[in-house]
Structure 1
Amino acid sequence: MRNPLGLMLASLVMAVAIAGVWFWTSSPRADAAAPQTVAARAADPLAAAAKDDVDTTAALSTKRADATPAAAAPAPAAAPAPMPAPVASTQKCANPDALGISRTVVVDTTGGPGFGFLQYKQFDFLTDHEIVLTFDDGPWPTTPAVLKALADECTKAVFFPIGLHTTYHPDILRQVMAAGHTIGAHTWSHAHLASKKLTEQQAKDEIEKGFSAVKIALGANPAPFFRFPALAHTPATLAYLESRNIAKFSVDVDSNDFKSKSADEVIKNVMAGLDKEHKGIILMHDLQKHTAQALPTLLRKLKEGGYKVVWMKPKTQIETLPEYDAMMAKTEKVSTAPTRPVSSVIQTVAE
């Protein structure tokens, strides 16, 4: 005979168990995630990936081909990085009191116009206290000091390198280009093109070889800007430049730095010339040590004197002649940079 009390206890336990199961399955768990809002769902990896597709389509009119449901879920997407801004042609000047550039002029060299009133009086484009900085005879180991002085004052110049020198220091000429200056040419060997010892063909060769040498050193065509060594031209060389649409540069103020004995003398010569002319194209030489030394002070004096730099750029670059490019490519010097450290070749054994 069954115990009535035991049957009652068994029934009570069964009832409690059934109630517990019902409560567990019908009530929300304490550790369950809260319902997601629209904003919260957007952070879901798959939802973020889908949003990326929409954003990319809107911005670029393309859709990722690999964004399929079967693909593995990517990590939560961060906000898309902005597109990089275009690189500015010139860096922002860090010197608030710099000499700077007052204006930039673009030169149409069609017909070979001439600039510099010492010889060419065709185009009087500079106003009172406007100057153009020009440097001849580089590139040379002194050129980087000239570049630094110009960079410190956030200003620009026109350089007329000698072709032969570009074969010695192509890396320095590329520094001139990297700094954003205008680069023309100054013959191949600094030959005196008005010399009776030169034929018209030899004079032409000097001009073209100079431009081609600069092109090879830079890996780009230079400006169609040319200055005659010693400012010496002939009717034939002038006519040739005009036929090639190359602008010719003379001078208004000569620094005479090639015969100056100190940096102070270079500064004195330039400022005295400007006191007389009040404006103009200034001739200097980045090959001259005293010019490199004088330039930081000279640029400050120009600023203090109220002078403003005009930067000249060509409308188009020169198209060098293929035959001269080929000729100059053969003269380009092979790098002599050592492939072994000096200490492995030369060792001091006694002092």
Structure 2
Amino acid sequence: MPRATPPQARPGAPAGTPVATPAAAPAPAPAAKAANPNLPPLVGPAYVKGPACANPSALGVSRTVLIDTSGGPGFGFEHFKQHDFLKPGEVVLTFDDGPWLGNTPAVLRALEQECVKAIFFSIGKHATYYPDIIKQVYEAGHSVGSHTWSHVDLSKKTPDEQKEEIEKGISAVKAAIGQPIAPFFRFPQLKHPADAVAYLGDRNVAIFSTDLDSFDFRIKKPDQIVKRVMDKLAKHGKGIILMHDFQHGTAQATPMLLAELKKGGYKVVHMVGANGLQSMAQYDAMIAKNEKLPTAGAGRPTSSVVRTIDQ
């Protein structure tokens, strides 16, 4: 390769005069991506602080991080390597597949006792079953994201079917909490079809994988769930933990896990969206129709349909 010609001093300059090197031209700024007029913009805020901590010895939240989800960033080193923001000893708690009767409230009580915040990735159908529960999750100050409408494997669906699963899930969770949800999404089975990933990027929704999978959908005993998480933490030192508030074993394991985290000196980080994710009207209408299916006896008061005859 020929050597580059060194810069020359200006003619007539005294010996020893420093040689001026021309400044490199600044790189052109990347062109801003035009907003898709067919997609609703992000709106803010996407979270509430929740009640003040009443436990002076609680594990608590060491810090809260605000996430700009523009372009759909990915988190969790199992699939995404770009954003390594956790410090040694820090964890993020995440729960999938709720809300579910009994189990989600038990997880909420354990988190409240230790003044800890988490991310809940709700299945849309489950949000329609138990809207009061997922609203309690939101009002407690946790981030509420989505996990599709019916927890199907999106890698086996067409792009249009993927979009419907994503958007119906968003609409259902938003309808339940009465607010735009956090722009956070986790794929069922952690399968990430390219079309769906691109769509979420256009939608400015962050995609979550995991660093530490509890496998609590296979491991049913609470002490074994805790051991698996803590063993992985000992190996990796930090990470986003994947659990399921749908699972009864996880509901039982959560207070035990929080106690072990506190004992081990770990710190909990809470992730919140800089803006809320607005739903789309056409999918809102689908959810409303799903919740209000007409029946032949529609219009009769409940007291004329259901009567107590023995007590």
Q: What is the TM-score of this pair, normalised by structure 1?
A: 0.70
Conserved in 1, the CA contact under 8 Å of 2:99 and 2:134?
Answer: yes
1:325-340 equivalence runs, <5 A:
325-332=284-291
Residues in 1 aligned to 2:178 and 2:50: alpha-carbon distance in whole angstroms: 20
Q: Which residue of 1 aligns with 2:248?
A: 289
Which residue in 2 is equivalent to 1:51? Answer: none
Q: Spell out, residue by residue over 1:261-281, the C-alpha distance to the aligned partner (whole angstroms, 9 max, x if none).
A: 311111011101111111010
RMSD after superposition: 1.9
Aligned-partner residue type, residue 301 of structure 1? E
Q: What letter is aligned with 1:126?
A: L
| 1:332 shift after superposition | 2.1
Q: 2:51 aligned to 81, 88, 91, which one? A: 91
Work out the CA distance in 2 between the residues paired with 1:232 and 1:90: 32
Aligned residues: 256
Unaligned ranges ≥5, structure 1:
1-87
Equivalence for 1:19: none
Q: Counterpart in 1 of 2:152?
A: 191
Matched, 1:246 2:241: no
- The answer to which of 320-329 and 240-249 deviates more is 320-329
Q: Say which SS state the counterpart of residue 161 (structure 2) adopts.
A: helix
- Report the counterpart of residue 261 of structure 1 in structure 2: 220
Q: State the partner residue of 2:99.
A: 139
**Equivalence map 1:32-47=2 (5 Å):** none
- Superposed, 1:19-58 pairs within 5 Å as none
Could you say what secondary structure the match of 1:233 adopts? coil
1:166 maps to 127
**C-alpha offsets along residues 2-28 of structure 1, whole Å, 9 cap, x if unaligned?**
xxxxxxxxxxxxxxxxxxxxxxxxxxx
Matched, 1:114 2:83: no
In structure 2, the gaps of 5 or more residues are 1-47, 294-300
* CA gap 1:302/1:323 in 2 versus in 1, 3 angstroms: same
1:148 corresponds to: 109
Equivalent position to 2:87, from 104, 114, 127: 127
Q: Which one has more relative contact order, counting CA pairs under 8 Å at least 6 apart?
A: 2
Give the aligned residue type for 2:86.
Answer: L
SS at match of 1:310: strand
Could you tell me which residue of structure 2 aligns to residue 235 of structure 1?
194
For the Cα contact (< 8 Å) 2:49–2:140, is it kept in 1? no
Contact 1:145–1:292 (8 Å) recurs in 2: yes
SS of the residue corresponding to residue 242 of structure 1 reads helix
Q: Distance in 2 between matches of 1:219 and 1:204?
A: 22
Q: What does residue range 314-329 of structure 1 map to in structure 2 within 5 Å? A: 314-329=273-288
What is the SS of the residue equivalent to 1:145? helix
Q: Report the Cα offset of residue 90 of structure 1.
A: 3.5
Asked if the contact 1:168/1:333 (under 8 Å) is kept, the reply is: no
Match of 2:260 in 1: 301
Which TM-score applies when normalising by structure 2? 0.79
Cα shift readout 1:127-179 (whole Å, capped 9, x = no counterpart): 10100000000000110000000000001000000001111111111111121
In the alignment, what sits opposite 1:272?
A: 231
Q: Contact 1:139 / 1:161 at 8 angstroms: preserved in 2? A: yes
Determine helix, strand or coil for the equivalent of 2:120.
Answer: strand
2:63 to 72, 93, 103: 103
Deviant stretches of 4+, over 4 Å = none
Offset, 1:344: 5.4
> Which whole-Å CA distance do the structure 2 matches of 1:92 and 1:319 have between them?
28
Does residue 1:347 correspond to 2:306, yes or no? Answer: no
- 1:311 is the counterpart of 2:274: no
Tell me the CA shift for residue 91 of structure 1. 2.8
What displacement does 1:333 show?
Answer: 5.4
Q: Distance in 2 between matches of 1:209 and 1:123?
A: 28
Q: Hey, what does 2:143 align to over in structure 1?
A: 182
Give the Cα separation in 1 of the matches to 2:211 and 2:146.
Answer: 19
Instruction: Quote how far apart the aligned CAs of 1:346 are.
Output: 3.6
Contact 1:167 1:333 in 2 (8 A): no
**Alpha-carbon distance in structure 2 between the residues aligned to 1:246 and 1:229:** 15
* Correspondence 1:63-102 to 2 at 5 A: 89-102=49-62
Identical amino acids, percent of aligned pairs = 57
- Please tell me whether the aligned partners of residues 98 and 153 of structure 1 are also in contact (alpha carbons under 8 angstroms): yes
Q: Identify the structure with the greater helix proportion.
A: 1
Paired residue type of 1:186: H
